[in-house]
Amino acid sequence: MALQYSVAVRNAQLDTMENTVGTSPILRIFTGSPPADCAASSTGTLLVEMALPSNWLNDASNGSKTIAGGPWQANAIATGTAGYFRIFNSAGTVCHLQGNITITGGGGDMILDNTSIATGQSVSITAFTVTAGNA
């Protein structure tokens, strides 16, 4: 049998994750597929970079955390198709989270208004939810 956690434990895990990443982290959006893990170097073309709000996720509830202060917006610095994101500490030196990107209905870890990005275009992250496992 797999371990099962209470909602309180799952919420605590998620709130600890946000505290570990820290305030005002850096979000970077790239073309292509995510690297094998957060320790691997970023791949693809960097399309968007933005500093997230100081409190970037809402408090955990029912085993999930959602985007706070959204949608998050920034202008693109390159042209390409968004494939994955990485969230770094506020210095931009340590990757703590990564996942894939789609538009609404695509099932991605992060949802954009449009994955076809052009230099200078305003890019909006419309949804981002982190859910703890082992319910």
Tens-place pLDDT, residues 3-50: 999 999 999 999 999 999 999 999 999 999 999 999 999 999 999 999
Residue % of the chain over a pLDDT of 70:
99
134: amino acid identity, one letter: N
pTM of the model: 0.93
Number of H helices, E strands in the chain: 1, 9
User: Which of 83, 29, 20, 82 has the alpha carbon at shortest distance from 56?
Assistant: 20
